[in-house]
Chains A and B, each alone.
Chain A
Amino acid sequence: MTDESLSSPAVTPVVDIRDLEVSFATDAGAIKAVDRVSLHVNPGEVLAIVGESGSGKTVTAKAILGLLPETATARGAIVLTGAGVSNDVVTLSRKQLRGIRGSQVSMVFQEPSTALNPVYTVGWQIGEALRAHGKYSRAEAKAKAIEILGRVGIPDPETRVNYYPHQFSGGQKQRVVIAQALVLNPGLIVADEPTTALDVTVQAEILDLLRRCRDEFGAAIVLITHNMGVVADLADRVAVMYQGELVEEADVVTLFSSPQADYTKRLLASVPHVGQGSMQTAERASRRDAAWASAAPVVVASQLRIEYPGRFGRSPFVAVDGVSFEIRAGEVLGLVGESGSGKTTIGRAIAGLTRVSGGSLQVLGHEMNGIRERTFKKSRSDIGFVFQDPGSSFNPLLTIADCVAEPLVVHGRARDARGARPRVNELLEAVQLPASYGDRFPHELSGGQRQRASLARALALEPTLLIADEPTSALDVSVQARVLELFASLQKEFGFAALFISHDLAVVDLLADRIAVLYRGKLVEEGTGAQVLGAPQHPYTQRLLASLPVPDPVEQASRREALRALRAAEPA
């Protein structure tokens, strides 16, 4: 499906993948992960490979570096051209592979905090790549490391070259990892979800840096991501993979404006946009009667303060500092913030999992500050909780039906799991899972299905309050859209109040009646979706909104300029 106009025969591609097939040996026999994929990347080009988890995108990328695990076998050709030499990675020996890794092709990993060795300085780690590929004295390697750190935007590189990884922030660590990848000036950088572990505001900076890698260093980039916004922001050409096959390949503007394959169309349709939710919010607001506003809220927090005890002799860490908000019956409050802003802590405090250390938090009429578990236990049937990771929130040894029946059994609505089965089947149907799925074990369900079962469990007792802690952040975009849709329809049907915690503004906008923005433990802005996202008042909200990449390359280019202007106006 290669677009003929794109492949100009005059340029030798940096990497040319032809009919790549990769199979894995597993306990259940051979599984094919990549099925006859042909791709090529020209010098100075950013190729984005998108697809859901399990589509084979990471395996394809790792195959370029010859980093496949021992259980994998590859067939086909991956011709890597650098410094006038062409090599087929599939056939190279280990020693030859070592020679091209770092000098011709290098990698940027997803999680910068684990990609760096904590016991060596960053300067040493950058120098390691140099020493592996040539003779460098210690001073030379350090000088080179300082130079490259400066070029990737680490301030004061002369001092910081001697720092250890823990002394850098997450975004800076990712800069160091990129510096490590760039130091030998390879023709190709493989970036595997380079911004997934980072906050939106930091993500925008790293994307800028990757763009500079291409423009200033002339490196071609293979970008693996599931975030269509990132693709729109950075990529020149996009390859869409699905179930191990390449379903579409086109330049970025064409792909977003006129996708050809069905899968691509569906994928693009399921990406949430900021501003989608305002109509639904208005519709819901119009249906509420006048008495609603004066009724007692389900949750009232005033000057809420939550501290985590510090280690011996250290002051406690303040996770939530003087936050006030309320959730009324049947209302969805979206809580947005980056990692470490205290949003999960608030959710856990409402569910009674974390102690409140100051201020007041009233949940369903109970004051949570200093409450005893015994007093609160009865009210637990009125609270549902959906956890972030659908993989670990189910007991792996119980069937889905047993897990969903658990709240019914605990609160005496059914004698045992078998007695609860009719109700469990109803619940599973409510979340659009076939009743027969109740007999499966959690690992036999996909992430989206598990999250739906998790919703069923949370709704089993028909709670008046549901706390959803990043329920979709571990899911693929296409699955996320489905779960969000379900959440909205269930909320409409059951009418529970909800606290919806997320780091994704677009997701929150889709569901929430009101949005609260948390920044470093403080509530900086609160209002309806239209207020907060339409006309943000606080500079942090403005920056957050501007940093969010939109899945439209043309619009994203203009937003990028706006963000640059915003950053320039703001004193760091």
Chain B
Amino acid sequence: MSTITTPPSGTGGGAPGSSPEPGSGASTSVSSRPAKPSLFGRLPVVHQLRQSVGLQRGMLVAGLIITAVYVICAVFAQWIAPYGFAQLRDASGPFGSQQPPSPSHIWGTTVGGYDVFSRVIWGAQTALEVMVVAIILSIFVGVFLGLVSGYLGGWLDRVLVVIADAIYAFPSLLLAIVMSIVISGGQSNLYGGILAAAISITVVYIPQYFRVIRSEAVRIKSEAFVESAMVIGASTPRIMFRHVLRNSTRTLPLIFTLNASEAVLTLAGLGFLGFGIEPTAAAEWGYDLNKSLSDVTSGIWWTAIFPGLAIVLSVLGVTLVGESLNDLADPRLRGRRAVAAASGTVAQTSVVPGGPLEGGPGGLAGLEDTEGGDDRDR
């Protein structure tokens, strides 16, 4: 048993992880057990934010800020955007086509005569809607199929894996195009368009969730606690949902964020290729980029730059969050503050909190009394 003295909190998700900064409010050391961080402190992203240091923290914060701006734009598009996404004229007449940036149209107008700034803001809303619908659909279907396939195994597993592999073999954008044609039949009103785009993205991403959850389920299936549930006589659905599912969703937030950024890209790709949503139904960055193709060569920069930047920044923000979460989830990749030489206290039992040796030969008395000194949370 060559255990290096690292407390298990490094690997566990819900481990005590309050930040070691002085004055961060962790003053409740009177309690009998290592103070648990507040509910807020244990929320997925907040927990990691507190845990991170240095460059990793910078990346995470940058990603969070970009993502927050993007989400705010999407949710409050109605109030932020000066005009509607399909608005061509206001009280003082038509906007005019390909107008350079001016006080009334700060990012100019497109070849179709729309206000670029408004289209970019409204586009965030479309992208967010597609992202949410696509991820919700693919997460539920993918996780369920992966769990069933991984835990039950047998012929069902083999068939599902072959199907997932087959979908993988298609270029994802091509598949999305085919799906969007099948679903919407070429027409695209607002919800039809969003659903078509979302479902076509879903089809591409289900195999990813399926794969990840399946491999986790296969791994967890052989863990002792699942066997222990079997010995107890628990039913298969109970084992699947109570014991396997909850333990296999650990990596889900990571794929979730990475897929979210890919969903934005796929949506933009569909729009760019002309399979997206009509400009009168919703604003869509890919469509605007497509229409600005000819502008670029004639020196009209504002119609392409802003939708393009919007795509890049939204993908970058979500990816940064995803990548940082990925690094922080792995104790080996996670950065920590360096400690001064010979600092810190010797942990009560260096391996596991709450279980000093006195709990052994010393008897029960030792077991219950030592907790006050168990101040390893600092």
Query: CB < 8 Å: which of A27, A75, A387, A403 contacts B17?
Result: A27
Alpha-carbon separation in the docked complex, A142 to B4 (Å): 35
Question: Chain B: which residue is nearest A446 at the CB level?
Answer: B355
Alpha-carbon separation in the docked complex, A392 to B223 (Å): 7
Query: CB < 8 Å: which of B5, B7, B225 contacts A395?
Result: B225
Q: CB of A549 within 8 A of chain B? A: no
Alpha-carbon separation in the docked complex, A440 to B50 (Å): 23
Indicate the size class of the contact surface on chain A.
35 or more
Q: CB of A184 within 8 A of chain B? A: no
Alpha-carbon separation in the docked complex, A55 to B350 (Å): 7
Whether B344 contacts A30 by the Cβ 8 Å rule is: yes
Stretch at the interface among A163-171, A237-245, A360-368, A551-559: A237-245
Whether B1 contacts A193 by the Cβ 8 Å rule is: yes
CB distance from B334 to the nearest CB of A (A): 8
CB distance from B352 to the nearest CB of A (A): 4
Question: Chain A: which residue is nearest B361 at the CB level?
Answer: A266
Q: CB of B105 within 8 A of chain A? A: no
Q: CB of B297 within 8 A of chain A? A: no
Alpha-carbon separation in the docked complex, A31 to B378 (Å): 9
CB-CB < 8 A to A242: which residues of B? 357
CB distance from B241 to the nearest CB of A (A): 12
CB-CB < 8 A to A52: which residues of B? 357
Can you sample 29 A-B contacts with CB below 8 Å? A23-B344, A26-B7, A26-B336, A27-B51, A28-B9, A31-B7, A31-B345, A31-B346, A31-B347, A33-B4, A54-B350, A54-B352, A55-B350, A56-B350, A59-B4, A243-B349, A269-B361, A270-B360, A385-B228, A394-B225, A397-B246, A434-B367, A437-B354, A440-B33, A444-B33, A444-B352, A449-B354, A478-B360, A481-B360
Alpha-carbon separation in the docked complex, A24 to B3 (Å): 13
Contact pattern, B 218-253, Cβ under 8 Å of A = 1, otherwise 0: 000001110111111111001000110011000000
Contact pattern, A 535-560, Cβ under 8 Å of B = 1, otherwise 0: 00000000000000000000000000
Tell which of B1, B331, B338, B344 has the most Cβ of chain A within 10 Å: B1
> A53-B351, A410-B233, A449-B355 given as contacts; is B341 within 8 A of A23 (CB)?
yes
CB-CB < 8 A to B343: which residues of A? 23, 30, 32, 73
Alpha-carbon separation in the docked complex, A64 to B14 (Å): 35
Interface residues of A in 356-396 (CB under 8 A from B): 377, 380-381, 383-385, 387-389, 392-396
Alpha-carbon separation in the docked complex, A436 to B344 (Å): 28
- Interface of chain B, main secondary structure: loop
Q: CB of A432 within 8 A of chain B? A: yes
Alpha-carbon separation in the docked complex, A428 to B71 (Å): 49
Question: Chain A: which residue is nearest B356 at the CB level?
Answer: A446
Alpha-carbon separation in the docked complex, A445 to B225 (Å): 16
CB distance from A304 to the nearest CB of B (A): 19
Whether B345 contacts A443 by the Cβ 8 Å rule is: no
Whether B224 contacts A389 by the Cβ 8 Å rule is: yes
Indicate the size class of the contact surface on chain B.
35 or more
Q: CB of A447 within 8 A of chain B? A: yes
CB-CB < 8 A to A445: which residues of B? 352, 354-355
Known contacts A270-B360, A446-B349, then 20 further A-B pairs from the complex at CB < 8 Å, ordered by chain A residue = A21-B341, A23-B341, A23-B344, A24-B6, A28-B9, A28-B15, A28-B17, A29-B339, A33-B350, A59-B5, A352-B231, A387-B227, A394-B225, A394-B228, A395-B229, A396-B225, A397-B14, A446-B355, A448-B360, A481-B360
CB-CB < 8 A to A305: which residues of B? none
Question: Chain A: which residue is nearest B347 at the CB level?
Answer: A31
Whether B339 contacts A23 by the Cβ 8 Å rule is: yes
CB-CB < 8 A to B357: which residues of A? 52, 242, 263, 478-479
Alpha-carbon separation in the docked complex, A437 to B359 (Å): 13
CB distance from B365 to the nearest CB of A (A): 11
Tell which of B247, B346, B353 has the most Cβ of chain A within 10 Å: B346
Q: CB of B10 within 8 A of chain A? A: yes
Interface residues of B in 7-39 (CB under 8 A from A): 7-10, 12, 14-17, 20, 32-34
- How many A-B contacts at CB < 8 Å in the complex? 242
Q: CB of B342 within 8 A of chain A? A: yes
Alpha-carbon separation in the docked complex, A28 to B334 (Å): 13
Whether B4 contacts A74 by the Cβ 8 Å rule is: no
Tell which of A31, A242, A381 has the most Cβ of chain B within 10 Å: A31
Whether A448 contacts B355 by the Cβ 8 Å rule is: yes
CB-CB < 8 A to A448: which residues of B? 355, 359-360
Tell which of A62, A353, A393 has the most Cβ of chain B within 10 Å: A393
CB distance from B108 to the nearest CB of A (A): 50
The 6 closest A-B pairs by CB, nearest first: A446-B355, A30-B344, A380-B233, A54-B350, A54-B351, A21-B342
Q: CB of B368 within 8 A of chain A? A: yes
CB-CB < 8 A to A76: which residues of B? 342
Alpha-carbon separation in the docked complex, A73 to B342 (Å): 7
CB distance from B40 to the nearest CB of A (A): 18
> A26-B10, A52-B357, A434-B367 given as contacts; is B345 within 8 A of A32 (CB)?
yes
Q: CB of B129 within 8 A of chain A? A: no
Q: CB of B364 within 8 A of chain A? A: yes
Q: CB of B377 within 8 A of chain A? A: yes
Whether A75 contacts B342 by the Cβ 8 Å rule is: yes
CB-CB < 8 A to B368: which residues of A? 434
Whether A54 contacts B342 by the Cβ 8 Å rule is: no
CB-CB < 8 A to B345: which residues of A? 30-32
Whether B354 contacts A387 by the Cβ 8 Å rule is: no
Query: CB < 8 Å: which of B336, B342, B360 contacts A482?
Result: B360
CB distance from A549 to the nearest CB of B (A): 17
> A110-B2, A193-B1, A481-B360 given as contacts; is B15 within 8 A of A443 (CB)?
yes
